[in-house]
């Protein structure tokens, strides 16, 4: 609290920037992530009977975490601009399932080469995103309702196509390489994930598109009066979401070596959780890709780390615990994000009451 | 202030970690058991047997699985167990090909792998603990039917469908046993019920009126047994026409207690879990090797091994005397 005593010092602009940087939501989330990681490193690593170091503190485990979080991470990246525009896309998980089985069908029944099937699947994903986009922008329907509809529609289609029972398997080794092997030191799919993250980062933070997303999220009518092509920008984020869901579908299929209609069930909710945890406002206008990445990492480390704790292992409750703690983490993060505002609302009042000095100018 | 926050977080994490680790030191053999879904009563009853075996053998048993039947989750759990360095993994595969990738990876790391209840690809595991062979099921069904009617008289069968591979297989062995051992019994009709209880009931009603000399109905699909029982009960023939077949204890308890259904046949799931754990531990200790012909599992005695299948052996018969001990 020593810095608080020197409150006037914060009028020094450079110092204020410094403090603002470290109290930003992303930094707080980074602290949480570091704390989580250290905790699991010390509590979740042990030596087994054969004298081998096992558990959280192994490279294998770290790579597994990366591997397991790629699909949900991709969906979270897709949802970040959507949510920044004050929209939502509940259909990405279902679309992942639909794209996975269509990819399997194109390859297995259609006899197409893997690269061609991948290309077509990405096209289908973008088209499905375009369906959302048309309903939302041309008909001005609320995104929540539209994507709730396509959420059922895409999953239903996937189940209808496979009649709920066909599973495509026996993919060639070269394709499984994407999901199960390492390339240049990292799991292969992590490279895809990082590239998409980089592209989305540039789009959201370094282009006029990104600025348009935030403006639309804050005030759609204002954006329209300011001459922004609101419909076209909104359409872009939903088409992108469809495309990225298709990429996630390919990676998912390669990781498991199977394409089934239930692929990605419930993933949309994990992705939304990661985005919101990452500091993106569900009301739109605010949010960063870095925040989303940290949100994904915080959830993934928590989930995988818990499974390494001897106590949790003995209780056989890794699944339940991770659900519970992810929820708690989200609620704590949301509370923490409004806490400074509440505190700063309290402080000036106390100042005026006790010292009767004029409140500090902002 | 934020520096303190960071330091506080780190210190807290490390402190907490040391507390948790203090109670962790354990050098027991670890066997990890994966059900298709862990809330399923069937697998919970498997776990009861597995727990018993774990206690007898003094090992640590991990029992974890998806909360619903989710193939992707199964893979993640197995991959987690690999990095935890467990000694044995026993799996009931939800998806044969999907899980096999993860199991091969486990084998590469020196973890012993076996499957139970539902098999994976043969190269991804050492043994499959096979709960029932079609032959065993067919013979037990026919023997029990003959016992119930004293070895003579007419009986009819209700099957799931006339085309399903496993149903045809079981039917084949029932008929073979009939021909071989029970010349005084006669199979008068085989009717499909499409795995629906209602259909089974109406088919059974039709069978009862068409065959007045019928002494027993055997249903070899699980909705068929309660369906046939309901028909017999409503026709007022309880006790005169016996009902038996393949099914789950819970959906038949009511009819068994009412004396309509005499025997429900399935395997003993507790024994399945027990055997899987014993086999897993024997694998880890190198006491069970490829090519073995039999295997001794604690209090259950010896089991035959056919190729890489450890056979649980004869199916289990649930009746009025024991059905309440089972909950699945």
Which residue among A46, A256, A308 places its CB closest to the CB of B71? A256
How many CB atoms are located within 10 Å of the residue A110 CB? 13
What pLDDT is attached to residue A7?
43
Q: What percent of chain B has pLDDT over 70?
A: 92
Q: Is B97 at the interface with chain A, CB within 8 A?
A: yes
Say which of A256, A265, A309 has its CB closest to residue B98: A256
Q: What CATH number is associated with residue A67?
A: 1.10.3470
Q: What is the CA angle A126-A79-A294, rounded to 5?
A: 135
Those of residues 296-315 in A touching chain B at CB distance below 8 A are 304, 307-311, 313-314
Which domains, ranges and CATH numbers included, belong to chain B? 30-132+269-313 (3.40.50.2300), 134-266 (3.40.50.2300)
Secondary element (H or E) of residue B135:
helix B134-149
Q: Do A43 and B17 touch (CB under 8 A)?
A: yes
Whether A45 is in a domain gets the answer: no
DSSP one-letter code for A181: S
Residue A360 vs residue A161, higher pLDDT: A161
Smallest Cβ–Cβ distance between B14 and the set A1, A42, A54 belongs to A42
Range of the domain at A119: 27-38+54-334
Task: Please report whether residue A275 resides in a domain.
Answer: yes
Q: Residue A6 — very low, low, confident or very high, per pLDDT cuts 50/70/90?
A: very low
Determine how β-strand B112-116 pairs with β-strand B127-130: parallel
Overall average pLDDT of the A322-340 stretch: 82
Over B277-315, what HEC string results?
HHHHHHHHCCCCCCCCCEEEEHHHEEEEEECCEEECCCC
Which parts of A163-187 fold into alpha helices (H)?
A: 173-180
Ramachandran region, residue B73 (left: φ > 0; alpha: ψ -120 to 50; beta: rest): alpha
User: How many CB pairs (< 8 A) connect A and B?
Assistant: 135
Least-confidence region, from A178-182, A264-268, A278-282, A354-358: A354-358
Backbone dihedral region of B294: left (phi > 0), alpha (psi from -120 to 50 degrees) or beta? beta
HEC secondary structure over B253-271: HHHHHCCCEEEEEECCHHH
Name chain B contacts of A1, Cβ cutoff 8 Å.
Answer: 1
Task: Please give the residue of chain A at the shortest CA–CA distance from B69.
Answer: A262
Nearest to A316 among B1, B64, B72 (CB): B64
Nearest CA in chain A to B25: A46
A231-264 pLDDT, tens digit per residue, is: 999 999 999 999 999 999 999 999 988 898 889 9
Q: What's the count of helices (H) and strands (E) in chain B, helices before strands?
A: 10, 14
Quote the minimal CA–CA distance from A215 to chain B in Å. 31
Average pLDDT over residues B126-136: 90
Cβ of A321 under 8 Å from any chain B Cβ?
no
Q: Which of A215-219, A353-357, B75-79, B219-223 has the lowest mean pLDDT?
A: A353-357
| Mean pLDDT, residues A87-98 taken together | 97
| A32 to B9: CB separation less than 8 angstroms, yes or no | yes
User: Which residues does chain B have within 8 Å of residue A31's beta carbon, measured at their own beta carbons?
Assistant: 5-6, 9
pLDDT at A23 over 90: no
Confidence of residue B285 (pLDDT cuts 50, 70, 90): very high
A292 domain residue, yes or no:
yes
CA distance A154 to chain B (A): 19
Residue A198 within a domain:
yes
Task: Tell me which range, A39-43, A92-96, A255-259, is most confidently predicted by mean pLDDT.
Answer: A92-96
Cα A59 to chain centroid, rounded: 23
| Residue from A276, A237, A278, A281 nearest A132 by CA | A237
Q: What is the pLDDT of residues A168-212, one digit of tens each?
A: 888 998 999 998 888 998 999 999 999 999 999 999 999 999 999
A128-147: pLDDT as tens digits: 999 999 999 999 999 999 99
CB within 8 Å of chain B, chain A residues 8-67 = 19, 22-23, 27, 31-32, 34-36, 38-43, 46, 48-50, 52, 54-56, 58, 60-61, 64
In a domain, A358, yes or no: no
Higher pLDDT, residue B10 or A308: A308
Q: Which of A167, A311, A319 is the closest to B95 by Cβ?
A: A167
Q: How far apart are CA A292 and CA B156, in angstroms?
A: 64
Q: Is A5 inside any structural domain? A: no
Measure CB to CB from residue A35 to each of B13, B24, B62 and give the nearest one. B13
Q: B5 at the A interface (CB within 8 A)?
A: yes
* DSSP letter, residue A45: E
Number of neighbours of residue B321 by Cβ within 10 angstroms: 9
pLDDT (average), residues A269-287: 93
Name the minimum distance, in Å, from the CA of B162 to any CA of chain A.
Answer: 19
- Give the integer Cα–Cα distance in Å for B159 and B218: 9
The CA distances from residue A46 to A90, A183, B23, B284, in Å, are 40, 28, 12, 20
Q: Compute the distance between CA of residue B274 and CA of residue B279 in angstroms, rounded to an integer.
A: 9
Whether the predicted pLDDT of A362 surpasses 50: no
Nearest residue, CB atoms, B20 vs list A43, A52, A256: A43
The CB-side HSE value for B6 (13 A sphere, CA atoms) comes to 11
Q: Label residue A1 by pLDDT band (50, 70, 90).
A: very low
Least confident of A314-318, B145-149, B170-174, B275-279: A314-318
Closest CA to B276 of B117, B79, B109, B87: B117
Q: Determine the residue among A5, A59, A162, A256 to mutate to test chain B binding: the one whose Cβ has the most chain B Cβ atoms within 10 Å.
A: A256
Instruction: Quote the CA–CA distance of A202 and B151 in Å, as a whole number.
Output: 81
User: Which neighbouring-strand residues pair with B32?
Assistant: B62, B89
Picking from A58-67, A230-239, B93-102, which range would have the lowest pLDDT averaged per residue?
B93-102
| Nearest-angstrom CA–CA distance, B9 and A158 | 45
Q: Which of residues 48-77 of B touch A (CB under 8 A)?
A: 60, 62-64, 66-67, 70-73, 75-77
How far is the C-alpha of A265 from the C-alpha of B72, rounded, in Å?
A: 10
Query: Quick one: average pLDDT of A288-294?
Result: 96
In A53-65, which positions are buried (b, 16+ CB within 10 angstroms) versus exposed (e)?
Answer: ebbbbbeebbbbb
| CB interface of A with B, residues 261-290, below 8 Å | 262-263, 265
pLDDT value at residue A83:
97
The partner residue sitting opposite A31, judged by closest CB among B5, B38, B100, is B5
* Chain A residues inside the 8 Å CB shell of B79: 64, 68
Q: Which of residues 167-196 of A touch B (CB under 8 A)?
A: 167, 169-170, 176, 180
Structural element, H or E, at residue A147: helix A143-162
The predicted model gives B276-296 an average pLDDT of 91
Residue A12 falls within a domain, yes or no? no
Closest CA to A293 of A151, A218, A196, A158: A196
Interface predicted TM-score (ipTM) over 0.85 = no
pLDDT at B10: 66
Q: Tell me if B47 sits within 8 A of B74, measured CB to CB.
A: no
Contact at 8 Å (CB) between A298 and A332?
Answer: no
Q: How far is CA B154 from its chain centroid?
A: 31
The distance of A89 to chain B (nearest Cα, Å) reads 23
pLDDT for residue B17:
62
* Structural tokens at position A298: 């915080």
Question: Does a structural domain hold residue A46?
Answer: no
A4: confidence class by pLDDT, cuts 50, 70, 90: very low
Q: Identify the DSSP state of A358.
A: P
SS3 B192: strand
For residue B146, CA distances in Å to A88, A229, B153, B220, B322 come to 64, 81, 9, 15, 20
Question: Hey, are the CB atoms on B21 and A61 less than 8 Å from each other?
Answer: no
Task: Please write the tens of the pLDDT for every residue from B19-45.
Answer: 555 444 457 899 999 998 887 888 888
From the candidates B18, B44, B84, which should be mutated to test the interface with A, based on the most A CB atoms within 10 A?
B84
Mutation for testing the A interface, residue in B72, B123, B284 having most A CBs under 10 Å: B72
Q: Helix (H, G, I), strand (E, B), or coil: what is residue A355?
A: coil
Contact state of A265 with B70 under an 8 Å Cβ cutoff: yes
Token code pair at residue B189: 């009709």
Chain B residue with minimum CA distance to A265: B70
Q: Tally Cβ neighbours within 10 Å of residue A140.
A: 8
Q: Are B257 and B187 spatial neighbours (Cβ–Cβ below 8 Å)?
A: no
Contact B75 A255 (CB under 8 A): yes
Q: Which residues contact B260 (CB under 8 A, 6 or more apart)?
A: B229, B232, B233, B238, B243
* Residue A39 contacts residue B16 (beta carbons within 8 Å): yes
CA atoms within 13 A of residue A346's CA, in its CB half-sphere: 6
- The domain tally of chain A equals 1
pLDDT (tens digit per residue) in B144-203: 999 999 999 999 999 887 777 778 888 999 999 999 999 999 999 999 888 888 999 999
Q: What is the pLDDT of residues A102-111, one digit of tens each?
A: 999 999 999 9
**In chain B, which residue's Cα lies nearest the Cα of A44?**
B21
pLDDT at A258: 86
Q: What is the CA radius of gyration of chain B?
A: 24
3-class SS of residue A362: coil
**Torsions phi, psi for B312 (to 5 deg):** -70, -20
């Amino acid at each position: 609290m020593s810095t608080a005593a020197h409150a006037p010092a914060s009028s020094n602009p450079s110092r204020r920037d410094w403090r603002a940087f470290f109290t930003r939501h992303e930094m707080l989330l980074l602290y949480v992530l570091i704390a989580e990681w250290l905790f699991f490193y010390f509590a979740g690593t042990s030596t087994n009977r054969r004298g081998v170091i096992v558990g959280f503190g192994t490279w294998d485990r770290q790579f597994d975490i990366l591997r397991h979080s790629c699909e949900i991470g991709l969906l979270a990246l897709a949802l970040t601009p959507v949510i920044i525009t004050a929209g939502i896309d509940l259909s990405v998980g279902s679309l992942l399932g639909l794209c996975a089985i269509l990819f399997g069908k194109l390859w297995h029944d259609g006899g197409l080469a893997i690269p061609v099937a991948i290309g077509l699947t990405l096209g289908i994903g973008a088209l499905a995103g375009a369906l959302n986009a048309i309903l939302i922008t041309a008909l001005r329907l609320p995104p929540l309702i539209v994507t709730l509809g396509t959420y059922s529609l895409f999953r239903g289609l996937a189940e209808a196509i496979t009649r709920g029972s066909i599973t495509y398997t026996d993919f060639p080794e070269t394709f499984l390489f994407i999901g199960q092997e390492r390339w240049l030191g990292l799991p292969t799919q992590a490279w895809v994930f990082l590239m998409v993250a980089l592209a989305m980062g540039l789009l959201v933070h370094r282009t006029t598109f990104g600025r348009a997303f935030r403006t639309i999220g804050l005030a759609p009518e204002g954006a329209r009066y300011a001459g922004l092509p609101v419909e076209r920008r909104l359409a872009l984020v939903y088409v992108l979401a469809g495309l990225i869901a298709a990429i996630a579908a390919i990676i998912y299929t390669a990781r498991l070596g199977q394409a089934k209609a239930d692929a990605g069930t419930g993933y949309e909710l994990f992705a939304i959780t990661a985005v919101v945890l990452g500091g993106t406002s569900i009301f739109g206008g605010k949010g960063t890709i870095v925040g989303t990445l940290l949100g994904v990492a915080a959830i993934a480390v928590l989930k995988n780390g818990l499974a390494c704790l001897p106590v949790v292992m003995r209780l056989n409750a890794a699944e339940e615990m991770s659900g519970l703690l992810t929820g708690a983490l989200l609620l704590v993060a949301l509370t923490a994000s409004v806490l400074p505002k509440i505190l700063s609302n309290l402080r000036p009042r106390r100042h005026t009451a006790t010292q009767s000095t004029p409140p500090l100018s902002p | 202030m934020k520096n303190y926050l960071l330091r506080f977080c780190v210190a807290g994490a490390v402190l907490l970690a040391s507390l948790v680790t203090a109670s962790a030191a354990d050098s027991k053999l670890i066997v990890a058991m994966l059900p298709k879904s862990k809330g399923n009563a069937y697998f919970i009853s498997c776990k009861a047997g597995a727990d018993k075996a774990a206690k007898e053998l003094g090992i640590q048993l991990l029992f974890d699985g998806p909360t619903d039947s989710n193939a992707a989750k199964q893979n993640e759990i197995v991959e987690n167990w690999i990095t935890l360095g467990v000694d044995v993994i026993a799996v009931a595969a939800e998806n044969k090909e999907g899980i096999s990738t993860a199991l091969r990876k486990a084998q590469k790391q020196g973890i012993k792998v076996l499957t139970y209840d539902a098999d994976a690809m043969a190269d991804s595991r050492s043994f499959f603990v096979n709960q029932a062979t079609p032959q065993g099921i067919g013979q037990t069904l026919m023997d029990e039917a003959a016992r119930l009617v004293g070895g003579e008289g007419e009986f009819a069968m209700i099957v799931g469908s006339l085309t399903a591979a496993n149903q045809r297989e079981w039917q084949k062995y029932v008929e073979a046993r009939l021909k071989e051992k029970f010349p005084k019994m006669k199979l008068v009709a085989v009717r499909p019920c499409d795995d629906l209880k209602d259909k089974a009931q109406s088919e059974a009603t039709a069978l009862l009126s068409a065959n007045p000399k019928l002494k027993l109905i055997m249903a070899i699909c699980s909705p068929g047994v309660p369906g046939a029982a309901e028909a017999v009960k409503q026709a007022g023939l309880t006790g005169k026409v016996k009902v038996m077949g393949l099914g789950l204890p819970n959906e038949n308890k009511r009819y068994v207690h009412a004396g309509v259904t005499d025997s429900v046949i399935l395997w003993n799931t507790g024994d399945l879990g027990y055997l899987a754990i014993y086999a897993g531990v024997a694998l880890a200790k190198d006491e069970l090797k490829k090519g073995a012909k039999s295997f001794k599992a604690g209090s259950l005695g010896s089991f035959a091994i056919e190729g890489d299948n450890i056979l649980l052996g004869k199916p289990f018969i649930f009746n009025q005397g024991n059905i309440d001990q089972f909950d699945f």
